Amino acid sequence: MCPPRELATVLELEHGFRVVDVDARLVPDGVEAKRGQPAAPDRLEREMQQAGIVRAVVAPDVGVSDGYLRANNAVARLSVDRPFVAFARIDGPRDPRDRPVAKLRNLTASRREFHTSPGDVEQYAYDDRFHGFVLDPVRDGLPDAETLDRLDDVGLPVVVRAGDGFPPAAVEATLLSRSMPVVLVAFGGHPANRESMAAAISLLDDHDDLFLDTAHTRYRDVLERALREFPDRVLFGSGAPDVHPDVGVMELLTLDVPEDLMRRAFSKNPGRVVPALAR
């Protein structure tokens, strides 16, 4: 059996694509995974190599009550000398859900000391260990307007988990008026919401800085439609460790689209949005 690094080379040669990944997560040492399988760095690196993925965006996957500063720094440290590109996970005080109670609470919501602040965003942005941000509003809260403005100022890509509780329309209302690149996990339809995925694809017509990542997108017709209609706006994401990265790679390889569209999704488009993923 080939060692992992040799196997990665074999897989890359077999399908002829250079594959990079915009959507994987790490659990820092000593922290219990809150969902799915824990993603220790050695295991994640090994699975990426087995799938022929040469570089991957990673961010913390841990629900905490005192902010993500320690987890972000741990992920950055674990990315050194590995084929990982660290993104900082951010949070905020606002409830993104379209409910009367949430709207009422948001009227008086203010940052607590552990929430991501504009200063935190600037510090991450100018720390060469970090290359972008990850935002899961339903789980972690939505940053306030001042913090979102600073995200816009620094201009680094923001990977956003949208879908139930934070649909594409909410993404458009809160994020897409700004100019930083926004990448929607799972085509904006997590978990497996076909209508939300279609709505996200429709938004691509009006927002040049919006991109869709393929993680957890199990509908072939949805993937093929987006690749054919918006070939420069689809980015490969594995969603590891919830699934083995082999799964995401094979889903793209079995689509009925020209090889050039696969090549764009696997490497050209991610490398354009996240330069650290480029060769």
Distance CA 58, CA 148 (A): 21
- The band of 29, judged by pLDDT with boundaries at 50, 70 and 90, is low
Question: DSSP string of 77-143?
Answer: HHHTTTTEEEEEEE--SB--S--HHHHHHHHH----TTS--HHHHHHHHTSTTEEEEEE-HHHH-BP
Angstrom CA distances, 153 to 69, 123, 178, stand at: 21, 13, 9
Section 43-58 average pLDDT: 94
**What are the tens digits of pLDDT across the range 61-83?**
866 667 899 999 999 999 999 99
* For residue 13, pLDDT beyond 90: no
Nearest to 78 by CA among 114, 49, 39: 39
* For residue 128, pLDDT beyond 70: yes
Q: Could you please state the CATH topology (level 3) that the domain comprising 4-277 is classified under.
A: TIM Barrel (3.20.20)
Distance CA 212, CA 232 (A): 10
Contacts by 243-246 with C-beta closer than 8 Å and gap 24+?
Answer: 243/216, 244/47, 244/50, 244/51, 245/21, 245/24, 245/47, 245/48, 245/50, 245/51, 245/53, 246/47, 246/50, 246/51
Section 85-92 average pLDDT: 96
* For residue 44, pLDDT beyond 60: yes
Give the pLDDT score at 106: 64
Distance CA 96, CA 171 (A): 9
Q: Answer yes or no: are the C-beta atoms of 67 and 73 closer than 8 Å.
A: no
- The band of 5, judged by pLDDT with boundaries at 50, 70 and 90, is very low
- The band of 4, judged by pLDDT with boundaries at 50, 70 and 90, is very low
- The band of 10, judged by pLDDT with boundaries at 50, 70 and 90, is very low
Section 255-269 average pLDDT: 96
pLDDT above 70: percentage of residues in the chain: 86
Q: Would you give the DSSP letter of residue 233?
A: S
Distance of CA 127 to the CA centre of its chain: 19
Q: How far apart are the first and last CA of the chain?
A: 27
Give the pLDDT score at 144: 94
Nearest to 272 by CA among 46, 6, 20: 20
